[in-house]
Structure 1
Amino acid sequence: MPVRPIVRSDYDALNRLHRDVGWPERSQAGWRWLEDNPARGSVQAPTGWVVTDGDDAPAAMLGNFVQSFVHGPRRLYGATGFSIIVPAERKGASRPLIRTFLKQPGLFARYTFNANARSAPLYGLFGLKPWPDQTHALKLSWVTDRTACAQGRLLRGLLGRTSARTAARLGEMLMNPRLFRGPDLRLPTQVVVLNDLSDGSPYADFWARLSQEDRLLADRSPATLRWRLADPDRTTPPLLLACVRQGRIVAAAMAQLTKTSVIEPPCLDIVDVVALDGAPDAVAVLTRALIDNATGMGAAKVRLQMVTPRLLTALGDLALQARKEGGWGHCHAIVDDPALAAAWAPTPFDGDYGICARHPPAPKTRRSPSAAQAAPRGRAAKA
C-alpha cells in the first residue's frame, strides 16, 4: 500500500476519516497549528502519514506528534503516534503506517500512551513494549457527579454499538450549563491560577529548576506552553494551577474539560501534574484542588489517563481513593537507551492527550469559540 507524508491539501479528507469514527475534527487553522509544532520543525518530521487510494487521496492515516525533551544539558526528541484511522475496507493499512512512524530518525523514543482496547494488542507486533511495566494498563478517575456518570453508563449500554454517524444525528447529550460560564474557583491558600507564561515569569523560574533535575522531562518551557495553549479548536481554555511555597512555584498542573463522545458526560482531564523533587506532596495538593473544583466547572469526574509509579507515590491517599480504569495496555513504547527509559518521568502531557481531546461543543448561541472561553476566576500567581 502506498504511504506518503500528510500534506496540507489532505486536511478535508483527514477530517472525513475522523468523522467516520466519531473522533473530533480539526479546523483548517487547527491543522496548521499542528504543522507549526516547534519540536516537529526542529527534526523536520512530517505531521503524519497517509495510505492513499488510486487517486493519491488519503484512505487511512497516522498522525505524528513530535515533542522536545530535556535531560540535564541534553536536548532529545520523541514522537507519539495519534489518530490511527484505518477503515474496514483498508484492513492491513495500519502496518505500513506504523512501520513508517517507527523508522523516523533522530528520536530517542517512539510511543503511544493512548491506545484503545482494540488496537493495544497490535503494538507488540512492531516491537513496542507495554511501558511503564507496573502502570501501563492503569487510568485513575475521581467521580464528582455520580448521577451524570450513571446516565453515561446507561447510554453506553443502550447505544454502545451505534455507528459514529448515527450517534452524531442523535445530538449532544449530558451537556452541563456550567461548562461555559467560567469557573469561580475555590482554591487552598498555596494554590493559585497560573496565567503568566512569559519568559521572565515565576513559571519560567519553576521550569528552569525542574529541568535541572536528574530526570528526562518533556519540554514544559513557557514557549512550549504558549504554543500548546494557542490551539484554535479549543472551546474552553485549559486550567493551569501552580502550588506556591515561600514565594516560588514548586509544582504545576494543567487540566482540560473534555467530552469523550456525544453520550458521555463532561470530564476534567488532568493533562499534566509535575512537582520539584523537594515537593512531591504538591502533586496531591494540585490534584485535590482540581477534584474539589470539578463540579463547579461542569465535569462529572476528574481523570488521569496515564500514570507512572513515581506519580502514584506522589498522589498518596488520592491514588487509593481513585477508581481504577483502563485494564488494557494503553501505554506502549520503544526507548532506544535503557538509561533514558529509567530516567523518563512522563505524565499525560507526554502523550497525545493535550492535542487529541474531544472538546465540549460550544453553545450555538455563541458567535465564535473565543466567546465561550471565559477565564477562570481565582488568585493569580504574581511575579
Structure 2
Amino acid sequence: MNYDVIIVGAGPAGSTAAFFLAKKGYKVLLIDKHKFPRFKPCGGGIPIATFKRFSYLEKYDLVDSYCYGGFIHSPSLKYSIEAHSEKPILAMVLREKFDNGLVKIAQENGAEFFDGKKVKDVNIFQDKVMITLDNDIKISSDVVIGADGVSSIVAKKIGLAPQQKKVNVCIFQEYKLGEQILDKIATTQRFSHVHFMYKNIPGYAWLFTKKDSINIGIGQFIPYQKFVKQKISLNNTFKSYFDLLKQEKLIPDYLKIGKLKGGCIPINTLKQTYSDRALICGDAAGFINPVSGGGIQFAMISAENAAMILEDAFKNDNFKSSFLSRYQNLWMNEFGKDFQTLLRFSRIYLLQAERFIKIASKDKRLGNIMLNYLYGDTHLYKNRRRLLIYYISDRIKDVFGLI
C-alpha cells in the first residue's frame, strides 16, 4: 500500500493534518493504535480562539458547553482573580466525542483511517518512508507526520526524541452530575475554578464545568518539585481538594471520589521537529502550554502548519530536511514565542503564586492581557514587557501597602 502522507496518531493534531491534506487531494492514511472512539485523559478546555481559526468546526456538534469565566485562587485561598465575560472564553469538550468527530471530518474529506493498528517501526529512505505495523504489514508513503503523543514512536525511530523525555503528571476524574445541578453550582455560564500551588504542590488543582459533568484534577509540574521540601502524594492531595470543593459548595455533598485516572504531559518542546520526509506535531513535539498544560489548540495549529509545508514540498518535489525546516519557523512564530514567555513567567505564577494572584486580583490590566490571549486577539510575547512592568510596579506598590 502506497500513500502520499501517512499520519501516525489520530488525536487533534493527526486528524487536523489529515483533514487539510486530504481536502487538497492528497492520498492520506491516518493510523491510531486505539479503537475509536477512545478515552483520552484531558480536562477538555479549548480557548475560543481555536474555533475562530478552525471555523469549519462550527457546523459539527463537537462542543459540549461554553465557559464564560472563572476564578483563579491563591494557595492560601485569601485572594482570587475573577474573569467574567459576555462572550465565551473556553469551549469545553468531551475528548472521546471531540477526537472521534475530528477523525470523521478527515474521513469525509477523503482520508483513510486505520484504528486499532499499532506502528512498530518507521524507516526513512532516500525516496520513501516505510511504516511497519505490529502485524508486520508494511505501508509506504512520501512523507510521515508523527502525531502520536508523548511517547511518540515516530519521533523516537527517526532520532528526534530525547533519550529521557521529561513529563509532568496529573490525576483526575470526570463526574456526571446532570445539567440542572450544574446550573445551580456553576451557573448557566459554567464558571470554572483553578487553585495554584494547592497544598504547596508545584502546579494547580482544577474544577472544570461542562454541560452536565465536571472534571476535577491536580497537575504537578515536576521541574519545580526541587523548590518544595515536603513529600507529595497526589492521591491524598486530591482527596483534600475534593473535600474543599464540597465545603465551598462547588460540588454536591453526595459525590464520591471513585477511581482516579492519570496522565503525562510533556515538559519541553523537541529541539527539532522535522527531518527528511518527516514532521512532528502536537503532544509528540511537546506543544503544551507550560503553565496551563493545555495543548489541543497548539496541536491543531501545528497540524495546519505541517499541512502547509507539505503542500509546498509536494509542489517542489522536495522532502529534504532543509526544505521542511520552515515548519519549525512557522510554529515558533505562531505559539513558540508565547511558550518561551510563559516559561519565563512560570516561576512567578507558581513559586510566587500568592503574591502574583494578590496583585493580579487588584490590577485588571494583567487579567485583560490574559483574556485577550485566550480570545486570540494578542500574543503574550508581544506583551511580555508590559506584563513585567505592570507586575514589578505593582509589587513595589504592594511593599508600601498601596495595593
Q: Do they superpose with TM above 0.5?
A: no
Task: Indicate the structure with greater helix content.
Answer: 2
* TM-score normalised over the length of structure 2: 0.29
Structure number with higher relative contact order (C-alpha < 8 Å, ≥ 6 residues apart)? 1
Structure with higher Rg: it is: 2
